[in-house]
Amino acid sequence: MSQRARWRQVEVKVDAIDLGQEIDPDFYDFYFVGGGQDKQQIVIAEDLRKKEKQIKEAIGNGAVILSVCGGYQLLGHYYKPHEGPELKGISLVDAYTVAGNRRMIGNVLVKRDDATTLVGFENHSGKTFLGKGVSALGKAIVGNGNNGEDKLEGLAQGTVYGTYLHGSLLPKNPGFADQLLSQALARRYGPQHLQPLDDHFENQAHKRAMTLPA
């Protein structure tokens, strides 16, 4: 994201938001929440709930959030493990996650409603289910997607995105990266028409990933 912005002479400032750190909902245009093991997820979940009001205000003001795997689960209502208490999310989106009986690992190919594709790698046992009327990021043509049952992958709701796609998601999907960048810039500067970049190598990586088995 940062490099694609800089290639277009867009100045970028990246900060890590620490545990217990206050968020100014008017300051950041783009948020990223990654994944981790259950032990770390418990700590992050508690901290996210403390930031819930500010995060929701930021998104309401047009900020973009991309969440992957464990971070994706915490944007919903809860994650229910096999054992132990339910891990509450921030209910930014109408979704919930329960622990599955098998680990879903492998390459993923996703087809979006606009016929574009996303590629990545999944590694999760949690099964995420979207609420009625909530849009998925796309449909898993290869791989398990959110839960291995309905073949939906990820979530796309306004400027909120969740996904189980790891494996250099943005470098291998330059069109999706530019979609996020455009939305983040639009918060302050209005609708964007980004200058095209030479994505030869990114597109080659994308095409190669489309041929990999699950």
pLDDT score for 161: 98
Q: What pLDDT shows up at residue 36? A: 82
Residue 79 bridge partners (DSSP): 87, 97
Catalytic site residue from 77, 82, 124, 166? 166
Contacts of 33 (CB under 8 A, 6+ apart): 44, 48, 65, 66, 67, 68, 71, 72, 74, 75
For residue 154, is it left (φ>0), alpha (ψ between -120 and 50) or beta? Answer: left
The domain spanning residue 126 has which CATH number? 3.40.50.880
Catalytic residue among 69, 77, 124, 206: 69
Q: Consecutive 10-residue runs of the chain (214 residues): their mean pLDDT?
A: 96 95 96 87 93 98 97 96 91 97 96 97 97 96 97 98 94 97 96 96 96 89
Asked if 200 is an active-site residue, the reply is: no
193 is catalytic: no
Q: Which domain holds residue 132?
A: 2-210
Number of domains in the chain: 1
Tokens at residue 54, please? 């500010």
The model's pTM is 0.96
